[in-house]
Structure 1
Amino acid sequence: MEIRKVQITGGSSYIVSLPKQWIKSTKIQKNDPVGLIAQPDGSLLITPKIDGESVHRDRVFEVGAATDRTFLLRLLVGAYVSGFTTIRLESKGRLPPFVRQLVREFTQMAIGQEVVGETDSSITLKDLLNPAEMPFENTIKRMHVLARGMQQDAMTALREHDAALAEDVVMRDTEVDRLHWLVARQYNLIHTDVTLSRRMGIPVNQAAYYFQVSRIVERIGDHATRVAQNALALIDREADSTTLNLMDEASTLALDIFSRSMEAFHTGDIRKANATLQAVRDLEDTTREVNAQVLRFEAVAAIPLGQIADSVRRIGEYSGDICECVINYIVGQEA
């Protein structure tokens, strides 16, 4: 940190000299305007960007026949989440066919990514989505609806031995993932682009809060997927009604905790968040009883039933984590 003294000029104007190295790196010339943005913590942000233009960042990946498909997909997701505006894949020769297929799959998974340029040896992807048009709260609300529906359908598939419904739940997890990637992307963009933070009216600490809750909801979706996968393992096996009823009771309680935690999140109600946390203990008691029940079954059925009970418990516990996030954030905002 550089320390500079405030000076007075003309009897009423306060001035502070700017670091020469920063002036050179931003290519600011004499008489160029700069933007001054007061931050919630009392600090002052100085930026050369005053026209509201977004920051453009490019990322290039070299690919070839030996490139690992899964690794390349992870690179694309990483570049997307990190907030790069343009992603380009380049090859020294002709692009392998699997690269073009992978790019098509990626554009279907990542919101706002489109192919804007293509040659025999390269593909260029560009983000066409205006982040300011996708509010964090709306995205997280959609994630909640999806994850809740997935868990409800997974339990229905378990009780009714519906393999098609269970497989559909597994497929829907991709939708939850892509929405979480969008939240993560916007969070990273706000970190690197102060103009976006101003346009969205969301300070960095609030964006971090949204990202944290989004990550938890995404994990709840993962556990709903796990319930569906274990339901598939039990398609040809019968479980007694007592165990299924107890499992349904636990799932209903977990989803109630989930919904109440999201209500506390959207309203900023720390009392509701605190009350909801108390219900997690009741869920733990119920899932403990389920685990005692499943021990009576053969291992081939007891293992997936035990994993379902564990996922139901984790859904409730993750919902409790949302409540803790709400309390921590709201208390931190209070003056």
Structure 2
Amino acid sequence: MANMEIRKVQRSGGSSLIVSLPKKWVDATNIQKNDAVGLIIQSDGTLLLTPNTTGVQLQRKKIFMVDAGTDRSLILREMVGAYITGYTEIVIRSRHRLPADIIEQVRNFTVMSIGQEIVMETDTEITVKDLLNPTEMPIENTLRRMAVIATKMSEDATTALRDHNSSLAASVIERDGDVDRLQWLVARQVNLIFSDVNLSRRMDIPVATASGYIQIAKIIERIADHATKIARNAIELTDIGIENGICESIQRAERDAMAIFRAAMEAFHSGDLEKANTTIGHTDNLEERCREVSSLALSFDAAHAIHFVYIADSLRRMGDYSADICEHTINHIVGSHP
């Protein structure tokens, strides 16, 4: 963390107050005499100084050098990392011809990410640019879309179990990638806001609010992960006869879990403190539903019973994560009101 520089405010002329700029900052930004700078008053009383007065999004380039020995899994993770941290241009470069498996990973990356397109390709270099305007993808809308997908995944996973439908379960597993892509997009947009004060202003999202969006997106992604786990367990149970009402019990628990999740997201988007608090209390009923499922699982042989127990645990965890959304909402509301 940078040290704070203390400077005295001085008077110039009759009523003007001035303060000198730190030399390190002047040198780093190449500010010259008579150049214009932007001053933005923050809600907490601080004053933000920026050399970017045009409001144009800052452009950042990341170059990765590769060769025949480059780990293809690592280069994919590095590209995802560059995307999430806000680089607007990613260049994959080699001193010789680009290996075929690296080219394939670059194409995989553009499919996995949102707004990333190959704009230039030669034998030795591929350039990927961000073609998405962050202001055209409101973060709250992305969170809503993530929540809709996760909710449908959960419903379909328990339906697949009831109907012995392995194709539907496989579809749930595949959709987990859609939630991951959107979670990366939220993380990217928040990191762009952190690094570009003008973008924060244009999107009307304070930095403190933006940091909470990453937390909510991660929670939704984890709920989708548990829907995926339910689908995987459903596939393991496809070929056995399921009696004793356990499917009905699981579906009741799933409906309770998703009702809590929907209420938590409604409280978050509306900033409803009372709703958030009330929703947390509903997790007790879900806990009872999940214990009922685990109890019914005891009538199956151990190899099958364990899958039902895993399903019950995933449903309980969904409720816990929804409660985390409510707690974040309460903390944010309390913290933003003096």
Decide: shared fold, TM above 0.5.
yes
- Please give the range of the TM-score, normalised by the shorter of the 2 chains: over 0.9
Match of 1:232 among 235, 256, 276: 235
Structure 1 vs Structure 2 CA RMSD: 1.0
Kept in 1, the 8 Å contact 2:264–2:323? The answer is yes
Match of 2:148 among 137, 145, 150: 145
Which stretch shifts more, 251-260 or 293-302? 293-302
Aligned partners of 1:4 and 1:50: how far apart in 2?
24
So what's the TM-score if we normalise by structure 2?
0.97
* Correspondences of 1:104-183 after superposition (within 5 Å): 104-183=107-186
Aligned partners of 2:76 and 2:161: how far apart in 1?
32
Q: Count the aligned residue pairs.
A: 335
* Correspondences of 1:269-280 after superposition (within 5 Å): 269-280=272-283
The answer to whether structure 1 residue 203 and structure 2 residue 206 are counterparts is: yes
Which stretch shifts more, 62-71 or 48-57? 62-71
> Could you say which residue in structure 1 is the equivalent of 2:65?
62
Match of 1:9 among 12, 18, 28: 12
The answer to whether structure 1 residue 99 and structure 2 residue 102 are counterparts is: yes
Partner-residue secondary structure (3-state), 1:240: coil
User: What is the one-letter code of the residue matched to 1:30?
Assistant: K
1:79-119 Cα shifts (integer Å, max 9, x gaps): 10000011111122211111222222211110000001111
The answer to whether structure 1 residue 74 and structure 2 residue 103 are counterparts is: no
Kept in 1, the 8 Å contact 2:156–2:172? The answer is yes
* Correspondences of 1:239-318 after superposition (within 5 Å): 239-318=242-321
> Could you say which residue in structure 2 is the equivalent of 1:213?
216
* Unmatched tracts of structure 2, length 5 or more: none
Partner-residue secondary structure (3-state), 2:245: helix
The percentage of aligned residue pairs carrying the same residue is 54
The answer to whether structure 1 residue 32 and structure 2 residue 32 are counterparts is: no
* Unmatched tracts of structure 1, length 5 or more: none
User: What is the one-letter code of the residue matched to 1:174?
Assistant: G
Aligned partners of 1:297 and 1:72: how far apart in 2?
46
Aligned partners of 1:216 and 1:34: how far apart in 2?
39
Which stretch shifts more, 65-74 or 318-327? 65-74
So what's the TM-score if we normalise by structure 1?
0.98
Partner-residue secondary structure (3-state), 2:190: helix
The answer to whether structure 1 residue 20 and structure 2 residue 28 are counterparts is: no
Kept in 1, the 8 Å contact 2:260–2:322? The answer is yes
Aligned partners of 2:243 and 2:69: how far apart in 1?
52
Aligned partners of 1:6 and 1:78: how far apart in 2?
42
Aligned partners of 1:150 and 1:12: how far apart in 2?
64
1:257-284 Cα shifts (integer Å, max 9, x gaps): 0010011011100100000000111111
Deviation for aligned residue 1:241: 4.0
Aligned partners of 1:163 and 1:308: how far apart in 2?
16
User: What is the one-letter code of the residue matched to 1:106?
Assistant: F
Deviation for aligned residue 1:69: 2.3
> Could you say which residue in structure 2 is the equivalent of 1:86?
89
Aligned partners of 2:89 and 2:112: how far apart in 1?
16
Which stretch shifts more, 232-241 or 160-169? 232-241
Partner-residue secondary structure (3-state), 1:28: coil
Aligned partners of 2:105 and 2:247: how far apart in 1?
41
Partner-residue secondary structure (3-state), 1:170: helix
